């Protein structure tokens, strides 16, 4: 199985940039597709798709969210961070199926 | 508007069975593969199972193979998860999700809570 590793938590000040990383145990890229996706989950809510295929913004997601990366290293950036962005962020790979796997999540906290 | 609404969760004893349902609306259900994803209390997300758009193919995570069965009724636009021989470690919120393309889960239900305990 492809293991995705995320830092457990990140503290950031409002209005600053937040950079959340996800490292895969093997490449999740196929030709021109980077099959890494990002989700936001607030307490008591279901996950919500933010970024698909590493860098594509999902419908209705504000432009302060962006994604980058290829191969095994990926990044979700929030700039500037707003109060509504305080949540847990998960990366997910679909390069290998089954199983699709998720990272352990990064909890974004206020500094 | 795409909607996924789970039902059927609750408290169940170890070794017993439970069946979850997910009613879909707002899209052509039989055009899409569907999936279940779970989240144990205060833990991360785990993919559980996927079924193809026509029900002909199913995939499971190793820990539920032989115990859980994913199925669908396209006439009713409903996804199911039959969970047998439940264990305490199956305690989680189970989300119905739509893997719209290349495994990207672009719609999620609100979740159904399953607690396995005596």
Rounded CA separation B31/B51 (Å): 12
B103 secondary structure, DSSP code: T
Q: Is B6 on the interface with A (CB under 8 A)?
A: no
pLDDT tens digits, one per residue of A9-33: 999 999 999 999 999 999 999 988 9
Q: Does B60 touch chain A (CB under 8 A)?
A: yes
pLDDT tens string B84-117: 999 999 999 999 999 988 999 999 999 999 999 9
Min Cα separation B11/chain A (Å): 19
- Taking the Cβ of residue B59 and every Cβ of chain A, the question of whether any pair is shorter than 8 Å is answered with yes
CA–CA min distance B94, chain A (Å): 10
pLDDT over 70 for what percent of chain A?
100
Indicate which of B103, B108, B110 best probes the interface with A, i.e. most A CBs within 10 Å of its own CB: B103
- Give yes or no for residue A40 having a pLDDT over 90: yes
* pLDDT for A98 beyond 90: no
Q: Do B47 and A105 touch (CB under 8 A)?
A: no
- Report the pLDDT averaged over residues A67-76: 98
Determine whether the interchain pair B103/A46 forms a contact, defined as Cβ–Cβ distance below 8 Å.
Answer: no
CB hemisphere CA count around A9 (13 angstroms): 4
Residue A97 has pLDDT above 90, yes or no: no
Across the interface, do A39 and B45 touch by the CB < 8 Å criterion? yes
What is the three-class DSSP state of A78? strand
Burial of A81 (0-12, 13-18, 19+ CB in 10 A): buried
The upper half-sphere exposure of residue A91, i.e. CA atoms within 13 Å in the direction of its Cβ, equals 33
**Virtual torsion, Cα B96, B84, A103, B102, nearest 10 deg:** -50
**Could B105 and A92 be called an inter-chain contact, meaning their C-beta atoms sit closer than 8 Å?**
yes
Q: Do A49 and B105 touch (CB under 8 A)?
A: yes
pLDDT < 70 regions, chain B: none
Closest CA in chain A for residue B100:
A52
Picking from B59, B103, B108, the nearest residue to A46 by CB comes out as: B108
Structure token digits, residue A81: 């961070």
pLDDT at A78 over 90: yes
């Amino acid at each position: 199985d492809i293991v995705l590793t995320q830092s457990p938590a990140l503290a950031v000040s409002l209005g600053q940039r937040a950079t959340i990383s996800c490292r895969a145990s093997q490449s999740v890229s196929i030709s021109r597709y980077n099959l890494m996706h990002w989700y936001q989950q607030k307490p008591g809510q279901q996950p919500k798709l933010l970024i698909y295929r590493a860098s594509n913004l999902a419908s209705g997601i504000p432009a302060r969210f962006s994604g980058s990366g290829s191969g095994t290293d990926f990044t979700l950036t929030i700039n500037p961070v707003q109060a509504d962005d305080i949540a847990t962020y998960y990366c997910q790979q679909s390069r290998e199926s089954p199983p699709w796997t998720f990272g352990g999540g990064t909890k974004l906290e206020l500094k | 508007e795409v909607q996924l609404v789970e039902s059927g969760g609750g408290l169940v004893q170890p070794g017993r069975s439970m069946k979850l349902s997910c009613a879909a609306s707002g899209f052509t259900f039989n055009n899409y593969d569907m999936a279940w994803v779970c989240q144990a209390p205060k833990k991360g997300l785990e993919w559980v199972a996927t079924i193809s758009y026509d029900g002909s193919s199913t995939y499971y995570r190793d820990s539920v193979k032989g115990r859980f069965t994913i199925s669908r009724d396209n006439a009713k636009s409903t996804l199911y998860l039959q969970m047998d021989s439940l264990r305490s470690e199956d305690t989680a919120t189970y989300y119905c999700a739509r893997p719209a393309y290349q495994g990207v889960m672009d719609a999620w239900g609100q979740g159904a809570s399953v607690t396995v305990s005596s």
